[in-house]
Structure 1
Amino acid sequence: MSDPVRLTSLAHGGGCGCKLSPAVLREILAKVPQAAVFPNLMVGTETSDDAAVWRLNDQQALVATTDFFMPVVDDPYDFGRIAATNALSDVYAMGAQPIFALAIVGMPVDKLPVETIQQILAGGAAVCAAAGVPIAGGHSIDSVEPIYGLVALGLAHPDKVLTNRTGRAGDVLILTKALGVGVLSAGFKQQRLAPGGYEALIASTTQLNTIGARLGDMAGVHAVTDVTGFGLLGHTLELCRGANLAAEIRAEAPAVLAGVEALAQAGVRTGAATRNWASYGDAVRLPGDLADWRKDLLCDPQTSGGLLIAVDPAQAEAVLATVREAGFGASRVVGALKAGAPEVQVI
């Protein structure tokens, strides 16, 4: 019997590291005509938010997003779980509760056994079941590289929708998951993960950001986004641009996944981290003594990463405690928003 095909060997990139760089994406979208004004469109493409939001009535707003990528791991079931968790995260980041999903499936059917594809879909279905939502349909194609993800739909009260553009000067920034997913995935591909490294990778990337659906009811929460392919610095910069504010990020404040620091210090990083820095480094100020590996970690693409929450400092401890009690023990205060032109200062 031949050895099973490594899923990651069929893809030129994996996870949220597959995303177009921020600079390339801005260049593409710059020439896309703006949509006409629709009174019920509460959130569109204006500030690169996590999902679109359409007001249905005075009590309900529909949150809609799509997210898909190529394998970040070789185990098909784990790949499906990670991709589905990542897609649902955008709904939670808007303060919404998912209601159902549609599957996006592209598979090289001449290279992968049917059983492998079935396992990918089973992993995604398991995550959706854990979130309490069905996969109600979808679309599939024969593609060169394996691709899996979801269209995810959710509901929120129109007055409780959370966006990336409503932060306020003085808000504390809380990050709910540890950094280093991209470093671990690169180490996995290079077969350099220490014992426990793969388990840390899977545990982080398959943890649903369910706390997001509760944030709209918490006093002092002003803005939220999830930290994915553009890294902590990139998504913090989106908060800044959305609210026309600056931010400070403490370089050593975020929690780091097990094994990441050693790999990063040994030079393990993703190509996406380099592309991220090239895209937005001109809007980031670094201390002169910051180690290169630490800078890379702040740009590290986070597949199914944590939520970045902007909260009034008076309520920050209460929000942090609630988030940790919900199972996000790696949550940390990592910085703050402040008055100023949109930029991020690392301290």
Structure 2
Amino acid sequence: MEDDDPNHQGLATETLDPALQKKHHDMLERLSARHQARKSDSPDSSSSSSTLESTSSFLTRFSDSKRSIESRIAESRLVSSSTDSSKVKSDLAEISFAIDNLEKLLAQNSYFLPSYEVRSSLKTVSDLKQNLENLAVELVPKKKFSFKTKSSSKKPESKLPESQKSDVVLPPKLPVRDSPGFRNKHGETLSKNFKGSSIGEFTLSDLDSCQVRLTGTVNALFLHRLKNCNVYTGPVIGSILIDDVEDCVLVLASHQIRIHCARKSDFYLRVRSRPIIEDSNGVRFAPYCLDYEGIEEDLKTAGLEEETKNWANVDDFRWLRAVQSPNWSVLPEEERVSSVSISGDGDS
């Protein structure tokens, strides 16, 4: 079991139908009060990890950060000739970190943003990364310095059919975070109860043939490189971000779920917004089916007590035609697991 970490992510909202406004308002008051209490108790909370409460507040914060990053990129280009290489590398790393924080801000607040604002902001983040990559190529010899994310100009030409090519900007992949979690395990049963924990983010990474059982609520969950795993999680208040899973069964509840590079996996979801998949195939979806003692209270705390049926409204960012994407399907009822019960006792 990893040590607890006080990393904090805030709460988010989204636009609801008029009939649900009052219930939504009551939920917001509960979540806001909880967020403020935890924020005041956490001296390590930084502005870069806060979730905002309106589109206008987000856009102001996002634009300010964007201008600051653009200014730093321009300044680095101007002063590079009179700066030693170690200082240049340090400056580039700091700018890269600022872009990562901007991307994190977008992920935390995308639940309530209009879709066009999400796409526009994703393009901004992508452009900033490309500008920084170009600057790194200009200032530092290629063999001595490079970011982990390679420039898109160096990637092989896309083999997508013409019908799937578009100017739509795909969400960038997020890096594996240094949050508490389970990593590099094979054939183990891994359990974590978040009740009473100060953990804000949790990561599952490089797991093979494992059973993962997470109970209670957490603010964000990251899944990276899972193969032949069964993952059962209580409600996540913010985002679940998934990258590279194969032959897995995942039972997840969250306000936002983004899936990248998933193959031959089944997802049992409860989600407030439409799930997003990209570069995935052979994935099937069904409604959330997890049960453990106290789950109803946890769902209410996370604002996920109501079934939205968005588990069946999947957006495939690699399929832009009007017809159904062939990359995902609804899991036939006769093949679904009706209910999964797990224990919330103890960690492992």
- TM normalised by structure 1 equals 0.27
- TM normalised by structure 2 equals 0.27
**Structure with the larger RCO, 1 or 2 (CA within 8 Å, 6+ apart):** 1
